[in-house]
Amino acid sequence: MVDVSNVCWSDALPPTGRHFPLLERVFLVRDAWHRQYGQRAPLTLVADNSLRRQLSAEDQERLRRLEQEVELHFAKTADPTLLSLAERRGLHVISRDQFTDLRRDFPWIASAPARFLGWRTEAGTVRLEPSGIRPVSAQVVSRALEGKDLKFHQRLDHRNPVHKRILGHHWRCEDAGCLKALIWPDRLHDWPLLDARGVAVCTGCKGAVRRLGPRTRPRSFVVADARTGDEYLRFPVGEGDALEVGRGELRYGINLASTEVDAPADVNLVSRRHLMLSVERTSGNPRVGVLDLGSVNGTVLERANSAPRRLDAGESVTLREKDRLVLAGAVTLRLSGQQHFSDEQQQLPRLGAAGGGRTRMFLPEDADTSGV
Ligand SMILES: [Zn+2]
For residues 309 and 317, is the Cβ–Cβ distance under 8 A? no
**What distance in angstroms lies between residue 193's CA and the mean position of ligand 1's atoms?**
11
**What distance in angstroms lies between residue 204's CA and the mean position of ligand 1's atoms?**
5
DSSP state of 22: -
- For residue 58, the SS3 value is helix
* Weakest-pLDDT range from 74-78, 146-150, 303-307: 146-150
Residue 356 pLDDT level (bands cut at 50, 70, 90): very low
361 or 262: whose pLDDT is higher? 262
Same domain, 125 and 158: no
45 or 203: whose pLDDT is higher? 45
* Weakest-pLDDT range from 30-44, 76-90, 140-154, 202-216: 140-154
Query: What's the pLDDT score for residue 46?
Result: 95
Q: Indicate whether 322 pLDDT > 80.
A: yes
Q: Indicate whether 235 pLDDT > 70.
A: yes
Q: Report which of 303, 319, 324 is spatially closest to residue 219, judged by C-alpha positions.
A: 319
* Inter-residue long-range contacts of 165-168, CB under 8 Å, 24+ positions, other chains counted: 166/191, 166/192, 166/194, 166/200, 167/191, 167/340, 168/214, 168/215
Q: Are strands 200-201 and 193-194 parallel, antiparallel or unpaired?
A: antiparallel
Write down which residue in 130, 160, 182 finishes a domain. Answer: 130
Alpha-carbon gap, residue 135 to 53, rounded angstroms = 34
Same domain, 279 and 224: yes
pLDDT tens digits, 96-145: 999 988 888 899 999 999 999 999 999 989 999 999 998 887 777 777 77
What value does the mean pLDDT take over residues 337-366? 48
Same domain, 187 and 320: no
Q: Report which of 166, 162, 139 is spatially closest to residue 220, judged by C-alpha positions.
A: 139
Give the type of residue at 189.
H
Query: What's the pLDDT score for residue 299?
Result: 97
pLDDT tens digits, 71-87: 999 998 899 999 999 99
**What distance in angstroms lies between residue 217's CA and the mean position of ligand 1's atoms?**
24
**What distance in angstroms lies between residue 159's CA and the mean position of ligand 1's atoms?**
26
In a domain, 339, yes or no: yes
Alpha-carbon gap, residue 49 to 265, rounded angstroms = 45
Interface confidence (ipTM) of the complex: 0.97
38 or 283: whose pLDDT is higher? 38
Alpha-carbon gap, residue 352 to 356, rounded angstroms = 5
The per-residue pLDDT of the chain, averaged, comes to 84
Query: What's the pLDDT score for residue 345?
Result: 63
Number of separate domains in the chain: 3
Q: Indicate whether 150 pLDDT > 60.
A: yes
**What distance in angstroms lies between residue 191's CA and the mean position of ligand 1's atoms?**
12
Q: Report which of 318, 277, 316, 274 is spatially closest to residue 299, judged by C-alpha positions.
A: 274
Query: What's the pLDDT score for residue 372?
Result: 28
Residue 312: which domain range?
A: 219-362
Same domain, 59 and 95: yes
Alpha-carbon gap, residue 269 to 261, rounded angstroms = 17
Percentage with pLDDT > 90 across the chain:
45
Mean pLDDT is highest, among 91-105, 238-252, 339-353, for 91-105
Residue 324 pLDDT level (bands cut at 50, 70, 90): very high
Same domain, 149 and 248: no
Q: Indicate whether 160 pLDDT > 60.
A: yes
Same domain, 44 and 109: yes
Same domain, 208 and 225: no
> Residues with Cβ < 8 Å from 295, sequence gap 6 or more?
270, 271, 273, 274, 275, 313, 327, 328
Write down which residue in 214, 243, 278 finishes a domain. Answer: 214
DSSP state of 173: -
**What distance in angstroms lies between residue 207's CA and the mean position of ligand 1's atoms?**
6
**What distance in angstroms lies between residue 184's CA and the mean position of ligand 1's atoms?**
10
129 or 342: whose pLDDT is higher? 129
φ, ψ (nearest 5 deg) of residue 143: -65, -40
Write down which residue in 97, 130, 163 finishes a domain. Answer: 130
Q: Indicate whether 342 pLDDT > 90.
A: no
Give the type of residue at 88.
R
Strand partners, 361: 242
For residues 233 and 260, is the Cβ–Cβ distance under 8 A? no
In a domain, 193, yes or no: yes
**What distance in angstroms lies between residue 201's CA and the mean position of ligand 1's atoms?**
8
Burial of 152 (0-12, 13-18, 19+ CB in 10 A): exposed
DSSP notation for 274-324: EEEEEEE--SSSPEEEEEE---SS-EEEE-TTS--EEPPTT-EEEPPTT-E
Ion ligand 1 residues within 5 Å by Cβ: 173, 175, 178, 180-181, 202, 204-205
The helices-and-strands tally (H runs, E runs) of the chain is 10, 22
Q: Indicate whether 212 pLDDT > 70.
A: yes
